Amino acid sequence: MSTATASQASASTAKKSGGFTGKAANYLDERTSISGAVKEFGRKVFPDHWSFLLGEVALFSFVVILLTGSFLTFFFQASMAEVHYDGSYVPLKGVEMSIAMASTLDISFDIRGGLLVRQMHHWAALLFVASIGLHMLRVFFTGAFRKPRELNWVIGFVLFILAMAEGFTGYSLPDDVLSGNGLRIIDGIIKGIPLVGTWISFLLFGGEFPGTAIVGRLYTLHILLLPAILVLFLALHLVFVIVHKHTQYAGPGRTEKNVVGFPILPVYAAKAGGFFFIVFGVIALIASFFTINPIWNYGPYDPSPVSAGTQPDWYIGFADGALRLVPPHWEFVLFDRTWSFNILAPLIIIGIFIVLVLIYPFIEAWITGDKREHHILDRPRNAPTRTAIGAAGVTFYAAMWAAASSDLIATHFHLTMEGVIHALQAMLILGPFVAYFITKRVCLALQKKDREIALHGFESGRIVRLPGGEFIEVHEPLDEYERWRLVSFESHAPVILRPNAEGKITNKARLRSALSRWFFEDRIAPATKKELESGHDGH
Amino acid sequence: MAHDDNSGAELAAAASSDHGPENNVSTGTAVVANDAVENPGFPPHRQRVTDLNPKKERTAERTVYTLFYLSIIGSVWAIAAYMLFPIEPENLLSVRLNNLFIGVGVALALLGIGIGAVHWAKALMADHETIDERHPVRGTDETRARAVEIFETANEESGFGRRTLIRNSLLGALVAFPLPAVVLFRGLAPEGQDPVALLNETAWEAGTRLARDPSGVPIKASDVTLGSAFHVIPEGLSEMDHMLEEKAKAIVLLMRLKPEDLNEREDRKGWSYDGIVAYSKVCTHVGCPVALYEQQTHHLLCPCHQSQFDVTNHCAVIFGPAARPLPQLPIAVDDEGYLIAQSDFQEAVGPSFWERH
Ligand code: FES
């Protein structure tokens, strides 16, 4: 009896809440409890800022990569068996090439829209890596990696590396001259690894280079293994974004305890959903106008030809450039074995660089000892040492990256190859220090100016003459909302080295205090209430 | 308005009393000023033109649905272009047009939706920001206590901590079980072959004629004029099994210099023929073909990382990351005047590897 009433009641509510949609929603909810999810997430707030779009570009271009990539798998054949090309592209007719290359040519020249999808896939991949890189820079320079987001920084960085691996494996699939040459370089690098290199290369290529196995193997990595890991880490990354709630920039009304922005339904969904289509559309537009990776100009892989000015895709450039910057003769024979430091040195340096980037959040957390959660982003100037370290890192990366185009730089600017390499070697070593120093000074100067403006207002451009005959420029005071943006940050003081409970000073403490001094000894504190009231900064 | 729920003073008090959502957490070296400026709270809301002016609102509405209609047109156009601009065999222009017109249609379809939706959100949807409260990421003390309790119970009920023999043997088994899978990967490379031996030999043998790459036509010493350079493969390469693997090791550059320009070592005096020298074309750095010969300076340049080799000095490295000279192929001339190899290379060609010496 009671069940009957209950079901009647629920039926009537469903009817009341309107026709088909209501019924469908009721049907779904009774089977999935989805109303709970809508209640929980439907009005979740996302703050708005252009720099938050970089991560979205990465996410959306990945979706485009998945869609276009799936289309390509229906036509691409990852086989290195040799055939005589018999497709529409006349200059290569009758040329012997692998099926991988031939099927890529068929996608480009014999399937309507195939070239478009192929080019969209490649452009989207370039955009994917680029946007992850920029997103990481945004996160770094605003301190968004601080507690509780340190692990998400690590996950994001792994995604960056996976994206590059996806890019490289994809680049190698068509089996054209450039991709084969890229693999040749990888083979050479692997062989330079002590102890295991020769065998790793032998196993990877299924025998001697180039063999007939590598394209098929890379294909498995490219469409199965790497994407699976990537999707997993991406999902984790997004789950953490939900768990932590998004960071926000400082602003009036915003605190560490709230998130201010637009709710998912409807505004954020419309904006982000719309933005997905914009990213997708822009990629389509680029792909319809600009050729990328015209393998038909390069021809099938042959170990013999290579032309001057060949370039890897830009995101691999830093590694290629690192190889170029090694001075001659960094290889020697010891214990009857070859030690190729011309290969090991770049590998080790890049390895250290990667590890430092990966663990930076933990280093900074250890130095500051700050155990609070941080949800308000720093303005880069308000963390001068961090910003300077970031600038140094970017310079280091840029030197390696530029080196990958050393030959183009030399011919374009009519310089000698040697001169360009030597300049870039100097930039690799000295550049980071210069960048560090300049950035830090600029940050401090900007902070001083902020403080000045907060205390005395901004220059209005209006000159008045005082009764005494003196000319001054009138300073307009800021309103409290503008001022809040300038004063709402925290500064850190260096730790003072003190003996611990046993009266000892440990080396760890010594190191921490030294690092802390390095980080925070130049410090500009935000203007306080008292200073504002008295209208000057007390000096 | 949502903003009015939070007055500035309240926010500021909250912000200064404790910075994060958690209480009593170390602030580390942060200097928490006790007379920090107070958060002024939200600024007054400013209305958009579309809120104030119904005409603008109607314009915005029109823009949005026009964009959505344009998107439909784009989709239809892309389908039409698929049929209107087919690919004609052997006609490159048709490929280009096909790509362009389908692409433009697709782009219009996507951008129409995208820009329309964003404009809708910005100009017409409710324009008030809302506020979510944050809570510490960590679970509450009760939750954490309960979690600890659950683990303790599980440990108690299973005896995981107590029965150490069971536990340790299980851990051992878990470590061991993936090992067979690792071993299976030995099958990636063929068995019965030794990579080191393979790397130490190439297709060159005593008497193999030097032939042009890629035609395979043998080269006479008299064809090699002063200052010229030839890309060379062993004769008969195209008939070999594993042609590409052999080619990857056997490619050679052949150059003729004035004999007096060559600085030949005593033990290699007999390796050249009348100023003609042959060197491996595989870079000793990481293996790119060293394809560029600079005739005036007699330098070879590897395009990959700009290593330079001096042909007059047995291809010693003069610049770039390579460490070793390019290996030299000893050559001679047979009775018909064709260039032949005296033997295989005397050392492994190509990039260095661990077992090389
Ligand atoms: S492969 Fe020749 S310089 Fe690197």
Do A149 and A275 belong together in one domain?
yes
Confidence at residue A313, expressed as pLDDT on a 0 to 100 scale: 84
pLDDT at B312 over 70: yes
| Domain presence at residue A282 | yes
Both A395 and A312 in one domain: the answer is no
Q: Helices A269-289 & A114-141, crossing angle to 10 degrees?
A: 130
Give the residue whose CA is nearest to atom 3 of ligand 1. B305
Strands (E), chain B: 30-31, 130-133, 210-212, 229-234, 252-256, 276-280, 292-294, 299-301, 308-310, 316-319, 328-329, 331-333, 339-341
Q: Which of B281, B282, B283, B319 to mutate to test the pocket of ligand 1 (most atoms within 8 A of CB)?
A: B283
Per-residue pLDDT tens digits for B200-212:
999 999 999 999 9
Based on the domain organization, do A497 and A407 belong to the same domain? Answer: yes
User: Both B156 and B93 in a single domain?
Assistant: yes
Do A25 and A67 lie in one domain? The reply is no
| Residue spans of alpha helices (H) in A369-479 | 384-403, 406-412, 417-456
Nearest atom, ligand 1, residue B305 CA: 3
- Distance (angstroms) between ligand 1 centre and the Cα of B288 equals 6
Is residue A357, in this structure, part of any structural domain at all? no
Q: How far apart are CA A60 and CA A70, in angstroms?
A: 15
Location of structure tokens 């005036």: B296
For position B5, what pLDDT does the model report? 41
Beta bridge partners of B218: B211
CATH number at residue B245: 2.102.10.10
Give every residue of chain A whose pLDDT is below 50, as ranges: 1-7, 9, 11-12, 14-15, 537-539
Specify whether A241 is located in the same domain as A200: yes
Residue-range definition of the domain harbouring residue B322: 196-341
Using DSSP, state whether A459 is helix, strand or coil. strand
Q: How confident is the model at residue B241 (pLDDT cuts 50, 70, 90)?
A: confident
Classify residue B15: in a domain, yes or no. no
Contacts of A116 (CB under 8 A, 6+ apart): A284, A287, A288, B98, B99, B102, B103, B106
DSSP codes joined into one string, B282-347: B-TTT--B--EEETTTTEEE-TTT--EEEGGGTTEEEESS--SPPPEEPEEE-TTSBEEESSS-SS
List pLDDT tens digits, range B249-290.
999 999 999 988 989 999 998 999 989 999 999 999 999 999
What's the confidence (pLDDT) of residue B1? 34
Amino acid at A475: H
Residues A24 and A136 in one domain: no
- Interface contact A419, partner B, CB < 8 A: no
Q: At B75, which amino acid appears?
A: S
| Cα–Cα distance measured from residue A99 to residue A97, given in angstroms and rounded to the nearest whole number | 7
pLDDT, position B23? 60
Separation of alpha carbons A136 and A145, rounded Å: 9
Distance CA B342, CA B331 (A): 5
Q: Same structural domain for residues A168 and A207?
A: yes
B243 is a domain residue: yes
Domain shared by B108 and B175, yes or no: yes
List A residues 282-321 in contact with B (Cβ-Cβ < 8 A).
282, 284-285, 287-289, 301-310, 320
Do residues B136 and A373 lie in contact, with contact meaning Cβ atoms separated by under 8 Å?
A: yes
How large is the average pLDDT for residues B331-355? 93
Kindly state whether residues B115 and B222 are assigned to the same domain: no
Residue nearest atom 4 of ligand 1, based on CA coordinates: B305
B148 plus B82 within the same structural domain? yes
Give the distance from residue B169's alpha carbon to the nearest chain A alpha carbon, in angstroms: 31
Phi, psi of A337, deg, nearest 5: -125, 155
Going by their DSSP bridges, the two strands A337-340 and A96-98 should be labelled as: unpaired
* Averaged pLDDT score across all residues of chain B: 89
Closest among B346, B352, B351 to A334, alpha carbons compared: B352
Q: Three-class SS of residue A299?
A: coil
Specify the DSSP element, H or E, that contains B243. helix B243-250
pLDDT single digits (tens) B9-46: 444 444 444 444 456 788 888 888 888 888 999 999 88
> Are residues B175 and B202 part of one domain?
no
Counting the structural domains of chain A, the total is 3
The model's pLDDT over B45-57, given as tens digits with 9 standing for 90+, comes to 889 999 999 999 9
Has residue B258 been placed in a domain?
yes
Characterize the bridge pairing of strands B30-31 and A491-492. Answer: antiparallel
Two structure tokens written together for B37: 């400026």
Say how many Å lie between the CA of residue B271 and the centre of ligand 1: 25
Share of chain B above pLDDT 90, in %: 73
Q: Which of residues 435-474 of A touch B (CB under 8 A)?
A: none
Please check whether residue B239 lies inside any domain of the structure. yes
Q: Please give the Cα distance from A499 to A496 (Å, whole number).
A: 10
Dist CA B135 CA B26 (whole Å): 17
CA B303 to ligand 1 center in whole angstroms: 7
Compute the distance between CA of residue B121 and CA of residue A263 in angstroms, rounded to an integer: 11
Whether the CB of A527 is below 8 Å from some CB of chain B: the reply is yes
Choose from A121, A151, A288 for mutation: most chain B CBs within 10 A. Answer: A288
Mean pLDDT of B158-170: 94
Residue A127 has a pLDDT of: 97
- Do B164 and B204 lie in a common domain? no
Nearest-neighbour CA in chain A from B106: distance (Å): 7
B233 DSSP β-pair partners: B211
Domain that holds residue A18: 3-32
